[in-house]
Amino acid sequence: MALDLAALVLAHVDSPALCDRMRDLYARLDAEIASHAPVCTNRGECCHFDTYGHLLFVTPVELAYFVTGVRRNGRGAVGNGGGPPDETTQPAERCDPADVAHASTADARTAQRTLPLMAGTERICPYQIGGRCTARDHRPIGCRIFYCDPSAQAWQSDVFEKYLAELKQIGAELGVEYRFVEWVSALEAVLPPGVDR
Protein backbone atom coordinates (compact mmCIF):
# COMPACT_ATOMS: atom_id res chain seq x y z
CA MET A 1 0.00 0.00 0.00
CA ALA A 2 1.33 3.43 -0.93
CA LEU A 3 2.50 5.60 1.92
CA ASP A 4 0.30 8.48 3.00
CA LEU A 5 1.70 11.63 1.35
CA ALA A 6 2.31 13.42 4.66
CA ALA A 7 4.15 10.42 6.13
CA LEU A 8 6.19 10.02 2.95
CA VAL A 9 7.25 13.67 2.89
CA LEU A 10 7.82 14.16 6.63
CA ALA A 11 10.06 11.08 6.74
CA HIS A 12 12.55 12.97 4.55
CA VAL A 13 12.34 16.45 6.07
CA ASP A 14 15.76 17.72 7.18
CA SER A 15 17.62 14.97 5.32
CA PRO A 16 21.13 16.41 4.72
CA ALA A 17 21.54 14.30 1.57
CA LEU A 18 18.22 15.48 0.15
CA CYS A 19 18.95 19.11 1.06
CA ASP A 20 22.36 18.99 -0.60
CA ARG A 21 20.95 17.50 -3.78
CA MET A 22 18.04 19.93 -3.94
CA ARG A 23 20.20 23.01 -3.33
CA ASP A 24 22.48 21.88 -6.15
CA LEU A 25 19.57 21.14 -8.49
CA TYR A 26 17.85 24.46 -7.81
CA ALA A 27 21.10 26.42 -8.25
CA ARG A 28 21.69 24.82 -11.65
CA LEU A 29 18.06 25.24 -12.66
CA ASP A 30 18.00 28.91 -11.65
CA ALA A 31 21.19 29.54 -13.64
CA GLU A 32 19.72 27.83 -16.69
CA ILE A 33 16.50 29.85 -16.41
CA ALA A 34 18.48 33.08 -16.00
CA SER A 35 20.40 32.30 -19.19
CA HIS A 36 17.09 32.63 -21.08
CA ALA A 37 16.38 36.03 -19.45
CA PRO A 38 12.61 35.49 -19.13
CA VAL A 39 10.40 38.38 -18.06
CA CYS A 40 7.66 38.16 -15.43
CA THR A 41 4.80 40.36 -16.58
CA ASN A 42 1.86 39.10 -14.54
CA ARG A 43 3.33 39.78 -11.08
CA GLY A 44 1.96 36.70 -9.37
CA GLU A 45 -1.34 36.30 -11.17
CA CYS A 46 -0.21 32.77 -12.07
CA CYS A 47 -0.28 31.95 -8.33
CA HIS A 48 -4.08 32.37 -8.46
CA PHE A 49 -4.51 28.96 -10.03
CA ASP A 50 -8.28 28.95 -10.55
CA THR A 51 -8.33 32.43 -12.06
CA TYR A 52 -5.26 31.83 -14.22
CA GLY A 53 -6.56 28.46 -15.42
CA HIS A 54 -3.66 26.18 -14.60
CA LEU A 55 -2.32 24.02 -11.78
CA LEU A 56 1.11 23.46 -10.26
CA PHE A 57 2.29 19.88 -9.68
CA VAL A 58 5.17 18.78 -7.45
CA THR A 59 7.05 15.70 -6.31
CA PRO A 60 7.56 14.43 -2.74
CA VAL A 61 11.27 15.29 -3.00
CA GLU A 62 10.37 18.93 -3.64
CA LEU A 63 7.81 18.89 -0.84
CA ALA A 64 10.32 17.49 1.67
CA TYR A 65 12.79 20.25 0.83
CA PHE A 66 10.02 22.85 0.99
CA VAL A 67 8.85 21.64 4.40
CA THR A 68 12.44 21.77 5.62
CA GLY A 69 12.47 25.46 4.71
CA VAL A 70 9.12 26.06 6.43
CA ARG A 71 10.28 24.22 9.55
CA ARG A 72 13.49 26.22 9.79
CA ASN A 73 11.94 29.61 9.13
CA GLY A 74 8.51 29.26 10.75
CA ARG A 75 5.39 31.36 10.24
CA GLY A 76 4.90 30.04 6.73
CA ALA A 77 7.84 31.98 5.28
CA VAL A 78 10.55 30.16 3.37
CA GLY A 79 12.85 33.01 2.40
CA ASN A 80 11.93 35.91 0.17
CA GLY A 81 14.32 35.68 -2.73
CA GLY A 82 16.69 38.30 -1.39
CA GLY A 83 14.10 40.97 -0.67
CA PRO A 84 14.08 42.90 2.59
CA PRO A 85 12.61 41.08 5.59
CA ASP A 86 9.10 42.04 6.61
CA GLU A 87 6.29 40.56 8.69
CA THR A 88 5.90 37.57 6.39
CA THR A 89 9.43 36.82 5.24
CA GLN A 90 12.54 35.58 6.94
CA PRO A 91 15.90 34.48 5.53
CA ALA A 92 16.11 30.85 4.49
CA GLU A 93 18.47 28.57 6.38
CA ARG A 94 20.45 25.55 5.26
CA CYS A 95 19.93 21.96 6.35
CA ASP A 96 22.66 21.55 8.94
CA PRO A 97 23.60 17.93 9.73
CA ALA A 98 24.42 18.97 13.30
CA ASP A 99 20.88 20.28 13.74
CA VAL A 100 19.40 17.21 12.11
CA ALA A 101 21.24 14.93 14.52
CA HIS A 102 19.32 16.54 17.38
CA ALA A 103 15.97 16.87 15.62
CA SER A 104 13.13 14.67 16.81
CA THR A 105 10.01 13.53 15.03
CA ALA A 106 8.08 16.06 17.10
CA ASP A 107 10.42 18.81 15.88
CA ALA A 108 9.84 17.82 12.27
CA ARG A 109 6.09 17.90 12.81
CA THR A 110 6.20 21.50 14.07
CA ALA A 111 6.11 22.37 10.37
CA GLN A 112 2.47 21.28 10.40
CA ARG A 113 1.49 24.50 12.15
CA THR A 114 2.91 26.86 9.56
CA LEU A 115 0.73 26.75 6.45
CA PRO A 116 -0.92 30.15 5.98
CA LEU A 117 -4.68 30.04 5.88
CA MET A 118 -6.16 29.52 2.43
CA ALA A 119 -8.02 32.43 0.84
CA GLY A 120 -11.59 31.12 0.93
CA THR A 121 -12.34 28.41 -1.60
CA GLU A 122 -10.28 29.83 -4.47
CA ARG A 123 -7.18 27.79 -5.25
CA ILE A 124 -4.35 30.27 -4.61
CA CYS A 125 -0.81 29.54 -3.49
CA PRO A 126 -0.91 30.34 0.24
CA TYR A 127 2.69 31.54 0.11
CA GLN A 128 1.83 34.50 -2.07
CA ILE A 129 1.18 37.08 0.62
CA GLY A 130 0.58 40.73 -0.11
CA GLY A 131 1.49 40.21 -3.76
CA ARG A 132 4.88 38.73 -2.86
CA CYS A 133 6.19 35.20 -2.92
CA THR A 134 7.33 34.27 0.57
CA ALA A 135 8.66 30.88 -0.53
CA ARG A 136 11.13 31.71 -3.28
CA ASP A 137 14.18 29.92 -1.89
CA HIS A 138 12.50 26.51 -1.65
CA ARG A 139 9.78 26.78 -4.30
CA PRO A 140 9.30 23.82 -6.69
CA ILE A 141 10.62 23.55 -10.23
CA GLY A 142 7.28 24.20 -11.92
CA CYS A 143 7.03 27.50 -10.08
CA ARG A 144 10.59 28.45 -11.03
CA ILE A 145 10.24 27.52 -14.68
CA PHE A 146 6.81 28.96 -15.50
CA TYR A 147 6.83 32.39 -17.12
CA CYS A 148 3.97 33.92 -19.08
CA ASP A 149 6.62 35.59 -21.27
CA PRO A 150 5.81 34.26 -24.79
CA SER A 151 9.50 33.74 -25.54
CA ALA A 152 9.68 31.27 -22.63
CA GLN A 153 7.42 28.84 -24.47
CA ALA A 154 10.38 27.78 -26.61
CA TRP A 155 12.38 26.33 -23.70
CA GLN A 156 10.09 25.75 -20.70
CA SER A 157 8.92 22.25 -21.56
CA ASP A 158 12.38 20.85 -22.28
CA VAL A 159 13.86 22.39 -19.13
CA PHE A 160 10.98 21.09 -17.02
CA GLU A 161 11.33 17.54 -18.34
CA LYS A 162 15.10 17.61 -17.80
CA TYR A 163 14.82 18.59 -14.14
CA LEU A 164 11.78 16.42 -13.45
CA ALA A 165 13.87 13.43 -14.57
CA GLU A 166 16.56 14.52 -12.14
CA LEU A 167 14.02 14.82 -9.31
CA LYS A 168 12.89 11.27 -10.04
CA GLN A 169 16.51 10.12 -9.89
CA ILE A 170 17.11 11.88 -6.57
CA GLY A 171 14.00 10.26 -5.15
CA ALA A 172 15.02 6.82 -6.39
CA GLU A 173 18.50 7.16 -4.89
CA LEU A 174 17.21 8.44 -1.53
CA GLY A 175 14.23 6.10 -1.25
CA VAL A 176 11.52 8.74 -1.77
CA GLU A 177 8.57 7.25 -3.65
CA TYR A 178 7.73 9.19 -6.81
CA ARG A 179 4.38 10.90 -7.12
CA PHE A 180 3.19 13.92 -9.08
CA VAL A 181 0.71 15.80 -6.90
CA GLU A 182 -1.14 19.09 -7.16
CA TRP A 183 0.57 21.81 -5.08
CA VAL A 184 -2.26 23.24 -2.95
CA SER A 185 -3.73 19.82 -2.17
CA ALA A 186 -0.26 18.54 -1.29
CA LEU A 187 0.35 21.48 1.03
CA GLU A 188 -2.99 20.87 2.73
CA ALA A 189 -2.02 17.22 3.26
CA VAL A 190 1.50 17.87 4.51
CA LEU A 191 1.08 21.24 6.25
CA PRO A 192 -2.47 21.55 7.58
CA PRO A 193 -3.63 25.19 7.69
CA GLY A 194 -2.37 27.12 10.69
CA VAL A 195 -2.97 30.49 12.23
CA ASP A 196 0.55 31.55 13.20
CA ARG A 197 1.79 32.99 9.95
- Angular region, 124: left φ>0, alpha ψ -120 to 50, beta rest: beta
Please report whether residue 196 resides in a domain.
no
Q: What string of pLDDT tens digits covers the 197 residues of the chain?
A: 346 999 999 999 999 999 999 999 999 999 999 999 988 877 777 888 888 788 899 999 999 999 999 887 754 444 433 332 333 333 333 444 333 333 333 333 333 334 444 445 678 888 888 778 888 899 999 999 898 888 888 999 999 999 999 999 999 999 999 999 999 899 989 986 653 33
Distance CA 143, CA 81 (A): 13
User: What crossing angle do the helices spanning 60-73 and 156-174 adopt, rounded to 10°?
Assistant: 80
Domain that holds residue 110: 5-190
User: Residue 155 burial (CB < 10 Å; 0-12/13-18/19+)?
Assistant: middle
Q: Does the model's pTM come out above 0.95?
A: no
Task: Answer yes or no: is 68 within a domain.
Answer: yes
Q: How many domains does the chain have?
A: 1
